[in-house]
Amino acid sequence: MVIFFEGYTMILLNAAESRELDRISQEKYQIPSYSLMTRAGEAVGDALVERFSDATPDVLVVVGKGNNGGDGFVAGRRLIQDGFAVRAVLLGRATDLKGDAARAHAEFRASGGNVIEASEESNLEAALVKRPTAVIDAIFGTGLNAEVKDRPRRAIEIVNSFAVPTVAVDIASGVNSDTGAIMGVAIRASLTVTFGFAKFGHVSYPGAGQTGELRIVDIGFAPRAIEEIAPRGRFLERADLQHLLHPRPENSHKGMYGHPLVIAGSRGKSGAVLLASRAALRAGAGLVTAAVPESVQPIVAAGQAELMTEPIADRDGHFDGAHAPDALKMLLEGKNVLIVGPGIGLTDDTKRLIEWLISDASERDRAMLIDADGLNALAAIGCEALKRARGPVVLTPHPGEASRLLGVKTTAINDDRISAARNLAERTGSTVLIKGSRSVIASPDGDVYVNSTGNPGMSTPGMGDALSGIVGAMLGQHMRPLDALALGVFLHGYAADRVAQRIGRIGYIAGDLIDELPAALEALSK
């Protein structure tokens, strides 16, 4: 996705916040609603000409009955005034239009625009029989929250079949603006022009795949209205994170940059410990100690010379839940972050260990990150147990792990990762990452971030272990959990993007990403 800005930074709004921005701007700050509609529609028309200058001989505007349709009529009028041939298909009757949308329709007609009213399915097929050279999609806006059916559904299917440049007004019709879910069917836009701020649906899959290029334009919302709404959503980009990276003083020493304790591993899964530990070292941790089942300690110790290791009592290759806590208590002093879960397996002993870590090892100045089988053990004992933790907790589930924590199907997580992350953060009091393309971060205070980095080549073993180490290193360097997750997730994907660009998008592995971290950090800091 290519994003163009005209005004505001990459704050994300949900549908309710979008409506409130409109309402406050109009009612409290006396900005005329039709002025906003005019600027919006004209921006759409101008964007079509600028981006697809060779595709304007025959422009089709497909409009719904709401204000999104009004924006479409204004865009059509703008194009007619600029000398282009434009026709409109209204999915309904002109008598259905109200307020600003009715006014925009009248002005479009007055400018010479032709409107075909497709109030029946048969009318629609006839109205859309001629293939245009470009389409403006003004069927649904950001308020869509039900499955698309009947005439609108058929109109979207026909528009997609044209395979011509398509500009969506505010959001591609059929995409849920809060979640990115496709509500049955959605326009495949070449360019989306949205107003004031981006919406969660623009940057969250699968809706992000329907957005095309995204252009954010300032149409004159009241700045104070934006301040009153105080949106908490962000699309993380490089500029958002550079303030977290600081040059190290010349007289640095390793004690200044944190000491994560990695509690991980089991027989056959020593690699998870090494990946998490190496990633923490490469992400700048001053010291790293790995506490592992004693049966795998020699393997881990041999795998990374710079890593300190401690053998912990085990049973059948896993941590011994009855005896491991006594050994771990002796290791906690001097460790300012715990990285728990990679490769530990799911046993009764693991569950007992997680319960002990939550109740006894968590401290106000010692953050705990739980990942992988640590999360599965947490799901088995109930994620509400985290309310007992005395220190900050970070959870990093993939959708399957999140589904077990929340007691829902994985499809429900993937359908709405924004709400799932918020729900999990609220239920546990933790800062939460739900991993995947466009990973979602949610804090218990209501912040929601969507990450912009990463690529399909990351779909390989060990990437999650590496991420745990990276975020753990940031927590150890005294970042608050939200900042540590934001920087860690962005850096993880950014390093992967650099590797993919250098050696290819398929076939690189977690170790390649980890080795790229120092160069990626250096590049981000500039």
Is residue 504 classed as helix, strand or coil in its secondary structure?
A: coil
Nearest partner of 321 among 313, 331, 332, judged by Cα: 313
Alpha carbons 309 and 287: distance in angstroms, whole number: 11
pLDDT at site 122: 74
Question: What is the reported pTM?
Answer: 0.94
pLDDT at site 263: 98
pLDDT at site 195: 96
129-140 pLDDT per residue, tens: 999 999 999 999
- Which pair of structure tokens corresponds to residue 168? 């969506």
pLDDT at site 119: 86
Neighbours of 405 (CB within 10 A): 24
pLDDT at site 2: 52
Alpha carbons 95 and 372: distance in angstroms, whole number: 57
For the chain, residues with pLDDT lower than 70 are 1-9
Alpha carbons 182 and 205: distance in angstroms, whole number: 9
* DSSP-derived secondary structure for 386-448: GGG-SS-EEE---HHHHHHHHTS-HHHHHH-HHHHHHHHHHHHSSEEEE-STT-EEE-TTS-E
CB 438 within 8 A of CB 203: yes
Is residue 367 classed as helix, strand or coil in its secondary structure?
A: strand
Number of residues assigned to the chain: 526
Nearest partner of 137 among 37, 63, 65, judged by Cα: 63
pLDDT at site 48: 97
* DSSP-derived secondary structure for 226-245: HHHH---EEEE-HHHHGGG-
pLDDT at site 54: 86
pLDDT at site 6: 46
Is residue 362 classed as helix, strand or coil in its secondary structure?
A: coil
pLDDT at site 8: 45
